[in-house]
Structure 1
Amino acid sequence: MTLTDRISSIIHLRRFNLFIALFCAGLIGAALYFQHVDNLDPCPLCIFQRVIVIAFGIVFLLKALHKPKPESFMQWIYFTLGLLVAAVGIGLAGRHVWLQSLPEHLVPACGPALDYLMEALPFLEVIEVVMQGSGECAKEDGWQFLWLNMPQWMLVIFCGFALFCLIGLWTRWQQRKPF
């Protein structure tokens, strides 16, 4: 059995895809814990990153429930969709980390709350305003684990998600049938 076959046999297991979905649920649970127990209010970029984690979890929950065959075209669809979701997460988390790295005099002013933006603006304009960032997205809350704060950890996690999907696509490509 080749390395590609071993990796493929693991990542195509229903249990493994369910584990990915449960990991995403755990991330959301941790985010809610920090919000409601530790009183760390999320900024708009944090909330968007939560939506991306939920979307990634849903993709792999659906993959676990559907259980497509390893040689199925649906494998391409699930991994490609997961890669696109992870890429959006990398963009959001990368922007968040970049905002936090700005010198204080370059940090944008604090903007209105996300709930107000959602009421006052069309959805695409809300996304544009949030992506521009605000002062609340640039401040660090003091929470760190292994020298990384939450946006930095989310960037690492989204990169891991993207790598997982790329490996899934690579193993699927290695198993393709000649025409």
Structure 2
Amino acid sequence: MGDWTLRQWSLTGFVLCVAMMAAALVMEHVFGLEPCPLCVFQRVAVIAAGVVFLVAALHGPRGRAGAIIYGVLASLAVLAGAGIAGRHLWLQSLPADQVPSCGPGLDYMLDVMPFQQVLNNVLSGSGECAEVGARFLGLSIPGWTLIGFLVLLVCAFGMLFSGRGRGTAYRWNG
């Protein structure tokens, strides 16, 4: 993998984003797990990263500047999602008496509040975000999502160091 092109890293990142969104939609529509506001924001981060990965793959810039721009944009989306997933895990780890009370639903907040206030309310958390809806191999959904974001971060960093994009790869001389 050390000599992958920007396009290969981008396509890998995009496929992983599609897989993460497919898993989220299966959990919601097949298993009936309703996403909390923090889950919705994590989905937005996955979609944002997926768009960057897809555009980078389609564009396939030749120079270092393109690799840096796309790598930084993908990294920002991924790091935002990882931060939200980390916050979600922290809320789930709180003792029951320290969990914030449940607030209004995300749809209601988006209808009646300015976006900045919605963002503040969602990131401060609510009781519904502290509930652990399901576990797989001992990890909650936000735990798996955080792992997914860390894998996506490898793809974003791969883009940063991929060199010239189309067909040529940056090789470590060391």
**Same fold by TM-score greater than 0.5:** yes
Q: Which of 4, 12, 15 is the equivalent residue of 1:10?
A: 4
Greater relative contact order (Cα < 8 A, sep 6+): 2
Aligned-pair identity (%): 43
Count of matched residue pairs = 167
Q: Which of 124, 133, 136 is the equivalent residue of 2:125?
A: 133
Q: Which of 145, 164, 177 is the equivalent residue of 2:155?
A: 164
Superposed CA deviations along residues 103-155 of structure 1, whole A, max 9, x for unmatched, are 000000011000000001001110000000000000001x2222211100111
SS class of match (1:111) = coil
Contact 2:87 2:123 in 1 (8 A): yes
Query: CA 1:171–1:15 in structure 2 vs 1: closer, same or farther (change >3 Å)?
Result: closer
Counterpart check, 1:43 vs 2:30: no
Counterpart check, 1:144 vs 2:141: no
Q: What is the Cα-based RMSD across aligned positions, in Å?
A: 2.1
* Alpha-carbon distance, 1:171 to partner: 5.1
Partner residue in 2 for 1:29: 22
Superposed CA deviations along residues 53-95 of structure 1, whole A, max 9, x for unmatched, are 00101001001100112x4311100000111111111110000
Partner residue in 2 for 1:78: 70
Gaps of 5+ in 1: 1-5
Contact 2:109 2:118 in 1 (8 A): yes
* Alpha-carbon distance, 1:32 to partner: 1.1
Mapped partners of 1:171, 1:65: distance in 2? 15
Counterpart check, 1:63 vs 2:56: yes
**Which letter does structure 1 place at the counterpart of 2:141?**
M
Partner residue in 1 for 2:145: 154
Query: CA 1:159–1:55 in structure 2 vs 1: closer, same or farther (change >3 Å)?
Result: same
Partner residue in 2 for 1:3: none
TM-score (norm 2): 0.88
* Alpha-carbon distance, 1:50 to partner: 0.3
* Alpha-carbon distance, 1:170 to partner: 4.2
